[in-house]
Structure 1
């Protein structure tokens, strides 16, 4: 064993180690670092793209929710309009039925009034005829046409003033 003297092997090993480090730096370290940098950039771009996709998805979701809300409002408005139209139609039908009932009632009242007037006229004629017969039997004489007409008119007038 040599004492602490100069050993050429150690110097050669150090020189070899330095050459190896330079070679590794030139051959392996720079490409490895470049690969790591590219990988880092790829990951960052993927994260940025994912965040952009997330932002777009949120915007799309908000847009779809707004569209859904508008569709619900439009559906509610359509239902409200349909309900109002149905109520209006029902009211029109009711009014038409009331008008028809009124018209039928008025027609019936008019028919009743006509029949009443007809009955009163017939009754007046019968009363006049009976009055003439009674009067002729009471007087037991023949009346001439003028006297008979005057008596009938007077009797009809008096009978017309009576409540029926």
Structure 2
């Protein structure tokens, strides 16, 4: 069979040995390092995927933690706003109550002042009426002595009262 190809048996064995040596050299220097490199690459990809999965889990945990924190902060913010509103409402009620109290005090003082003015006016009026009555009595007595008519006396009293500033 080898002879039919035009190669002698010695040449065939020589080619076969060369081929086996070549396959051995390629296996030792190229194929095994290539397989080792593929195995290392496969392992590095697996490690990278595992690391990525771990990183994703950690990121998810952090995200959940941040979401919880944000929810807590939002609730605290709503609580702060609620408390501030309650304090503002209480202050508004206090201010309104104080204003109402001051208004009531002012009204009471005004009423007291009005009452005092009224009493003073009454006293002044009594004094004016008393002075007018005394003046009228003096004139009547004076005119009775002079025998002058009472109507003329009353007219004279009214005229004198108007001239002194007393007005009805």
In the superposition, the TM-score normalised over structure 2's length comes to 0.61
Q: Distance in 2 between matches of 1:51 and 1:97?
A: 68
Distance 1:30 1:100, change over 3 A: same
Q: Distance in 2 between matches of 1:93 and 1:65?
A: 41
- Comparing 106-115 with 117-126, greater Cα deviation is found at 117-126
Partner in structure 2 of residue 149 of structure 1: none
Q: Does residue 50 of the first structure (1) align with residue 73 of the second (2)?
A: no
Q: Distance in 2 between matches of 1:67 and 1:3?
A: 87
Taking the TM superposition and a 5 Å limit, the aligned residue runs for 1:1-164 are 2-3=3-4, 7-120=9-122, 130=133
Q: Distance in 2 between matches of 1:69 and 1:83?
A: 21
Partner in structure 2 of residue 146 of structure 1: none
How many residues align? The count is 136
1:71-128 deviation per Cα after TM superposition (whole angstroms, max 9, x unaligned): 2222222222222222222211111110001111112222233344445556667777
Root mean square deviation of aligned Cα? 3.3
- Comparing 36-45 with 48-57, greater Cα deviation is found at 48-57
1:46-92 deviation per Cα after TM superposition (whole angstroms, max 9, x unaligned): 12222222222222222223322222222222222222222222211
Structure 2: runs of 5 or more not aligned = 141-168
Deviation at 1:30, TM superposition (A): 1.9
In the superposition, the TM-score normalised over structure 1's length comes to 0.63
